[in-house]
Amino acid sequence: MDFLNPAFWTFVAVIAGIYAIMALGLYVQFSLAGLPNFGHVAFMATAAYVMAILVVRYHVPLAVASIGAIVAAVIVGLLLAGPALRLRADYLAIATIAGGEIVRYLAMNLPELTGGPIGSMGLAGPGNIAMYNQDWLALLNRLTAVLSEASGRAVSRDFTMALLVWTLAGLLMLVFRRMERSPWGRVMKAVREDETAAAAAGKNVFSFKLQALILGAIVGAISGLLLAWQIGIFSPEDFQPTLTFYAYLILILGGLNRLWAIPVGAVLFSVLFSGTRLLNFFPLSLIDSGNRAFLRLFLVGFLLVLFMALRPQGLLGNRKELLLEK
Amino acid sequence: MLLEIRNLGKSFGGVAAVDGASFGVAEGSITALIGPNGAGKTTVFNLVSGFIRPDRGTVRFEGRDIAGARGDAVARAGLVRAFQAPRVLTRMSVLENVMLGAKDQPGERFGMSLLAPARVARRERDVQARAHEMLALIRLDHLADDYAGTLSGGQRKLLELGRALMSEPRMILLDEPMAGIAPVLGQQLLQHVQDLRARHTTVCVIEHDMDVVMSISDRVIVMDEGRVIAEGTPDEVQRDERVIEAYLGRRAPMEAK
């Protein structure tokens, strides 16, 4: 594949946009309320599975299934809240990573419900390949046709998707910026900094943490739906804990506690992560492709470490703020 | 009595930190809570302010039993506290720290900034103006936009006091306000505490500096080993045998020769 292939970069743009929304969900929990949720991927997995199951098994219209999927993610959030919100920092992180893995293992080990290890393809039972995103593709194709006609040239489906995803990401960020700058956001940040002090100031800490967790679950669910539609088929393997770590990377690369750093971090991460796929020029072309794939992950890790060493506050972060202890 | 504590008890494992303490704080007074280290003073504050649940006993504030109520509910009822080690929100601005303390902010409810932006903005302007006044009062207005984490220990205590006062409390609990702060800031803090009484805000203060205790308090409550051992005006307490004993120990009986 060629380094400047526009189709490839359009695909990267779609994934970056979806990751931006995923990271936004985590931002509400981690950067606003200070909840180190390491099971964010559970909301994405739940939403993707519930949507696919409702569409394939129960022939529910896609829009209704999507709402059902978001509701299901909220329910998972509430289930997680019970034990998790009683815990602080490290313990909360451990409990949530377990929560995320429970969802993935359930998906893997309940084949009658989820299709098991083969994932969404197995939802219609053995011998049938299940598809859940025909309605989505139809919608996307219609939009693509409209865009092509309006712009006077052939637009790819991924381009339409990228436009859609980034528009949604932008809208969500506008809404969250407004909320972050309101007194509600002030209380959230106070809970993040010191929940005892927030309680002493008369704020109901539990209620605010719960709001953050649920909001994050909703936004996470949206990103899970978009991811499922974009990749067409998915399996439990697509919802590994690494996805949550990607979301953290995006927040950290862009700059911690900065809303507008999320798209920057998402693009930077996606370019680092996907761009290294194309390192097939000399002298790297001397290495065979299997080893190159291995080298690539090594390189991604190295670049991330280098970046953090040179700019620990991220691209848009504030170094002064970073150095203040809690 | 604005605050009335009866038979309050709390044990941690086998240690009775507070063991049947009873006392009252009169409205509009400055009441000092003193006693040797480990007497249970801070635990009493934690129990009263709802940060620890008592094992037994009642806490009446304005006649209502608040024992076992959560800290935020107690604060909203008008009984706020400051901590021994000041708790400021380090990665928020000094101004934001103070604004947080204000009551009745419609914008704190989820989604209100989107649904009723005008109402939220109006109240926010009021809160901000009052926060600036408060900062001027505690002489931190020149630091309004700095991160609270850059303040000194004494400035943090002032900031915490400012945040507490933003809610216009009926009563405030101060845990060693003078400890570990520069003398100049200490004098300033002391003046604020006395101003509070002038404005009919009741103060209950834990303090180890006896000169401070004796000069500002209307009443002094002395605790030892989880109980109240003496109570009275500063003069009465200073002469009380049990108090001297608690602080200095009992005189060893002379050996009969």
Of the candidate ranges A264-278, B13-27, B231-245, the one whose mean pLDDT is the lowest? A264-278
Partner residue facing B167 (CB), from A175, A202, A320: A202
Q: Which residue of B has its CA nearest to A199?
A: B72
Q: Per the structure block, which two tokens stand in for A77?
A: 């959030």
* B103-140 CB burial, b ≥16 within 10 A, e <16: eebbbbbbebbeeeeeebeebbeebbebbeebbeebeb
- Interval B6-15: pLDDT, tens: 999 999 988 8
Helix (H) or strand (E) holding B87: none
A205: which chain B residues are within 8 Å (Cβ-Cβ)? 72
- At B243, the pLDDT band (50, 70, 90 cuts) reads confident
Q: What per-residue confidence (pLDDT) applies to B247?
A: 80
Say if residue A285's pLDDT is above 80. Answer: no
B89: which chain A residues are within 8 Å (Cβ-Cβ)? 189-190, 193-194, 197-198
Q: What per-residue confidence (pLDDT) applies to A319?
A: 77
**Contact check, Cβ <8 Å, B70/A199:** yes
Determine the Cα–Cα distance for residues A305 and B84; give it in Å rounded to an integer.
Answer: 40
- At B173, the pLDDT band (50, 70, 90 cuts) reads very high
| Burial bucket for residue A227 (CB in 10 Å: 0-12, 13-18, 19+) | buried
**Contact check, Cβ <8 Å, B112/A187:** no
Spatial contact of A227 and A44, defined as CB atoms under 8 Å apart: yes
Q: What per-residue confidence (pLDDT) applies to A318?
A: 79
Backbone angles phi, psi at B232, to 5 degrees: 165, -165
CA angle A160, A165, A166 (to 5 degrees): 100
Determine the Cα–Cα distance for residues B46 and B25; give it in Å rounded to an integer.
Answer: 16
- At A302, the pLDDT band (50, 70, 90 cuts) reads confident
Partner residue facing A183 (CB), from B71, B105, B149: B105
A174: which chain B residues are within 8 Å (Cβ-Cβ)? none
Determine the Cα–Cα distance for residues A233 and A129; give it in Å rounded to an integer.
Answer: 10
Distances (CA, A) of A161 to A167, A223, A226, B194: 10, 13, 9, 65
Distance from CA of A290 to the nearest CA of B (A): 46
Of the candidate ranges A40-44, A62-66, A258-262, B176-180, the one whose mean pLDDT is the lowest? B176-180
Q: Which residue of A has its CA nearest to B147?
A: A321
Determine the Cα–Cα distance for residues A244 and A22; give it in Å rounded to an integer.
Answer: 9
A209: which chain B residues are within 8 Å (Cβ-Cβ)? none
Say if residue B174's pLDDT is above 80. Answer: yes
Say if residue A273's pLDDT is above 90. Answer: no
- Kindly state the percentage of chain A with pLDDT values over 90: 63
Mean pLDDT (chain A) is 89
**Contact check, Cβ <8 Å, B163/A194:** no
Whole-prediction pTM value? 0.90
- Which is more confidently placed, A277 or B1? B1
A70-92 average pLDDT score: 89
- Kindly state the percentage of chain A with pLDDT values over 70: 96
Taking an 8 Å Cβ-Cβ cutoff, which residues of chain A contact chain B? 175, 178-179, 181-184, 186-187, 189-190, 193-194, 196-205, 211, 257, 320-321, 324-326
- Interval A150-172: pLDDT, tens: 988 888 999 999 999 999 999 99
Mean pLDDT (chain B) is 91
- At B256, the pLDDT band (50, 70, 90 cuts) reads low
- Interval B119-129: pLDDT, tens: 999 999 999 99
**Contact check, Cβ <8 Å, B114/A197:** no
A181: which chain B residues are within 8 Å (Cβ-Cβ)? 113
**CA nearest to A190, candidates A81, A326, A25, A90:** A326
Distance from CA of B247 to the nearest CA of A (A): 32
* A117-145 CB burial, b ≥16 within 10 A, e <16: ebbbbbbeeeeeebbbbeebeebbeebbe
Spatial contact of B211 and B241, defined as CB atoms under 8 Å apart: no
Q: What per-residue confidence (pLDDT) applies to A159?
A: 93
Q: What per-residue confidence (pLDDT) applies to A207?
A: 95
**Contact check, Cβ <8 Å, A183/B150:** no
Q: What per-residue confidence (pLDDT) applies to A325?
A: 66
Q: Per the structure block, which two tokens stand in for A80?
A: 């997680």
Query: Which residues, at least 6 apart from A27, have a Cβ–Cβ distance to it below 8 Å?
Result: A176, A216, A251, A259, A262
Disruptive mutation site among A28, A171, A186 for chain B (greatest number of B CBs within 10 Å): A186
Q: What per-residue confidence (pLDDT) applies to A22?
A: 97
SS3 A311: coil
- Interval A188-246: pLDDT, tens: 999 999 999 999 999 999 999 999 999 999 999 999 999 999 999 999 999 999 899 99
Q: What per-residue confidence (pLDDT) applies to A142?
A: 94
Taking an 8 Å Cβ-Cβ cutoff, which residues of chain B contact chain A? 49, 51, 70-72, 75-76, 80-83, 87-92, 96, 99-101, 103, 105-114, 120, 123-124, 127, 147, 149-150, 160, 163-164, 167
**Contact check, Cβ <8 Å, B107/A324:** no
Disruptive mutation site among B51, B81, B89 for chain A (greatest number of A CBs within 10 Å): B89
Distance from CA of B39 to the nearest CA of A (A): 23
Query: Which residues, at least 6 apart from B117, have a Cβ–Cβ distance to it below 8 Å?
Result: none
Say if residue B166's pLDDT is above 80. Answer: yes
**Cα dihedral value A163, A166, A169, A175, nearest 10:** -70
Say if residue A31's pLDDT is above 60. Answer: yes
Partner residue facing A194 (CB), from B81, B89, B112: B89
A182: which chain B residues are within 8 Å (Cβ-Cβ)? 107, 112-113, 120, 124
SS3 B225: coil
Q: Which residue of A has its CA nearest to B49?
A: A200
- Residue A97, amino acid: I
Q: What per-residue confidence (pLDDT) applies to A208?
A: 96
A55-75 average pLDDT score: 96
- At A1, the pLDDT band (50, 70, 90 cuts) reads low
B53: which chain A residues are within 8 Å (Cβ-Cβ)? none
Q: What per-residue confidence (pLDDT) applies to B2?
A: 93
